[in-house]
Structure 1
Amino acid sequence: MALDTAKAAVIYDLTATFDTAVAAAQPLYPRVCTVIESDGADEKYGWVDGMPGVREWIGDRQFKELRAATYEIENKHWESSLLLSKTNLADDRVSMYPPLMQELAAEATHHPDELWFQILENGNSSQCFDGQFFFDTDHEWGDSGTQSNDITCDVTNPAAVTVAEMKSAIRKAVRSLLAFKRPNGKLYHRTSQKPLDDLVVLVPLALRDQAYDAIEAELTGGGNSNVIIDRPEIITSAALSSDVKFYLFRTRQPLNPFVFQAREPLSRMTKGMDDSETKDVKFMTEARYNVGYLAWWNAIACTFTTSE
């Protein structure tokens, strides 16, 4: 039996509000993840040794065999389901349901962020493609030498980091990142004519003020001009569990630090509005995806410590 006009209008309003909220959402994960379109239950990433460099062509070509590692990310199926009373929908005079749909949309669109924060904070104990933890002090592959993207910065009091200490730590993190080498011994980050414009600094609430004062203030505490060589974008999150650690990422690279593996996009559906045997209507969402580690050389974890 087809829906009557009133019921059809209710369904339209619910779905339109949800769709509008989804389109307006601005989750964080696209900023730090490379989006890979997946076409199966999982994806296997074949990581290769460094690409061969350019050489003077003398004699025959010299073909380099690439060494690969296997890294696998399994897609997962996610859902969110809401049961709504038809009577309440029919009698809604205070417009309670549009905000409910907006919140449901926010939950669905920002869920990948929740997954990302989990793997971010587990980066010191979870492996990436080279068999090392994603944040580790001894990444080594081929002719890269031993490299660390898990650094520390000594300060007077980690619980009360100063603006100057924050600025020094960010600069140290940038220097560390720019020095990373590929398995063939060449630099990952090529020399640029201009300051880097794709850096992101992720800080906990406890370091928010220090980060903004260190990067965005026009003057230093002494009244001198605040010179910023590379001005990172600052993102603050209460989702970070440590007050003495921040992260630096380089983004907009061929490979970002993390991967969002998209299998099936977010969809929504309703059921039961025209079923006279039930008093409720079901509103459901589903999607298939996962988040994982990708390019460790585009990420730095920096922890404030004290030598005292």
Structure 2
Amino acid sequence: MLITQAQATAAYTGLRALFNEGFMATASGVEDQWKDIALLINSETSDEEYGWMKNLSSIREWLGDRQVQNLSEASFKISNKHFEGTIGVPVDKIADRKLGGYSIAAQQLGQNARVFPNRLVFKLLQEGFAATGPDGQYFFDTDHPVQTKEGVVSVSNTGGGSGAAWYLLDTSKVVKPIIFQQRTPFKPQELTSGDSDHVFKRNELLFGVDGRCNVGYGLWQTAYASKQTLDKTALWAARANMMGFKGDNGEPLGITPNLLLVPPSLEEAARTALEAVIISNTSNVMKGLMKVEVCPWLA
């Protein structure tokens, strides 16, 4: 059967309200966890260039002419992708005003849209052992090239190992470990009107959400990953490694890790290392040194 445009509009209005309700829900507390490790970039075109990250300028004493760092814009690009989610609502359900489970589906669709950036951001972080970053190396690698007065040296931001991965991060910098690039935010869409060809052929009204975005790697110096056993010894080594990072000018970058990010399987080890007061009858000097964050998206 066909429905009037007024009925279709009323159904869409109700589903949109439920979508927004699901989108705004914050029951789990991890809906926006991606914001802890990613820099949000509002994109204005189909893709954005990030070559400038290879040449972030430092401040020096002004002696003679300025030393200009030419920012290469063509070496690293993030292209936006289009993502969508759609549900079909039978026309009979709309006509009979019995949306029932479809109302729940719309609410769940809203929640899915809210947490979607987490899926992209943390998946990319996990892939960092075999995916290329702005410097042409794997994001987590043993031989990032760094220019010194003596020549190019290789610098590592990974601890090796074969267990579950954990991540030590400095999230205090402007440029963070991951970039979340957003072209258009996710928003609900009514995809068919009451008298459309789709309604006539399929006897259903389409309701969905779409948005354009993508992710890419930020500064490798702000992140360290390891698959070694997570304990105080490994954490001290990782922390010292990161705090020793220097820029191409040979000066310390001031990296200070403030976040230990772990999958659920490593929560106990992480909290023991950084939150326990006493470990093996000895005061835990690492207590409170860094924040522990358990990420379900890394499971």
Contact 1:205 1:236 in 2 (8 A): yes
In the TM superposition, 1:86-97 aligns within 5 A as 86-89=91-94, 91=96, 95-97=100-102
Rate the CA distance shift 1:219–1:99 in 2: closer, same or farther, 3 A: farther
Q: Identify the residue that residue 247 of structure 1 maps to in structure 2.
A: none
Q: TM-score, normalised by structure 2?
A: 0.64
Contact 2:8 2:94 in 1 (8 A): no
User: Is structure 2 residue 233 aligned with structure 1 residue 168?
Assistant: yes
Query: Which secondary structure state, in structure 1, belongs to the residue aligned with residue 116 of structure 2?
Result: helix
User: Is structure 2 residue 217 aligned with structure 1 residue 212?
Assistant: no
Deviations 1:206-230 (A, max 9, x none): 2111112222223223263554262
Q: CA deviation at 1:138?
A: 0.8
- Pick from 210, 229, 237: which aligns with 2:296? 237
Rate the CA distance shift 1:167–1:87 in 2: closer, same or farther, 3 A: farther
Structure 1 runs, 4 residues or longer, greater than 6 Å off: none
Equivalents in 2 of 1:138, 1:222: separation in Å?
A: 39
How many residues are treated as equivalent by the alignment? 224
Where structure 1 has 5 or more consecutive residues not aligned to the other structure, the ranges are: 191-195, 241-308
Contact 1:200 1:234 in 2 (8 A): yes
Q: Identify the residue that residue 14 of structure 2 maps to in structure 1.
A: 13
Where structure 2 has 5 or more consecutive residues not aligned to the other structure, the ranges are: 165-228
One-letter code of the match for 2:72? A
Equivalents in 2 of 1:238, 1:45: separation in Å?
A: 26
Q: Identify the residue that residue 51 of structure 1 maps to in structure 2.
A: 57
Rate the CA distance shift 1:50–1:15 in 2: closer, same or farther, 3 A: closer
One-letter code of the match for 2:250? G
Larger helix percent: 2
Query: Which secondary structure state, in structure 2, belongs to the residue aligned with residue 142 of structure 1?
Result: strand
User: Is structure 2 residue 209 aligned with structure 1 residue 150?
Assistant: no
Query: Which secondary structure state, in structure 1, belongs to the residue aligned with residue 239 of structure 2?
Result: helix
Contact 1:166 1:214 in 2 (8 A): yes
- Pick from 63, 66, 70: which aligns with 2:70? 66
Q: CA deviation at 1:85?
A: 1.6
Deviations 1:237-263 (A, max 9, x none): 2644xxxxxxxxxxxxxxxxxxxxxxx
Identity among equivalent positions (%) equals 25
User: Is structure 2 residue 242 aligned with structure 1 residue 177?
Assistant: yes
Contact 2:142 2:155 in 1 (8 A): yes
Contact 1:18 1:101 in 2 (8 A): yes
Deviations 1:93-133 (A, max 9, x none): 69433332221112222222222233222212221111111
Q: TM-score, normalised by structure 1?
A: 0.62
Q: Identify the residue that residue 260 of structure 1 maps to in structure 2.
A: none
Contact 1:201 1:233 in 2 (8 A): yes
Contact 1:166 1:211 in 2 (8 A): yes
Equivalents in 2 of 1:8, 1:66: separation in Å?
A: 54
Q: Report 1 or 2 for greater relative contact order, CA contacts < 8 Å, sequence distance ≥ 6.
A: 1
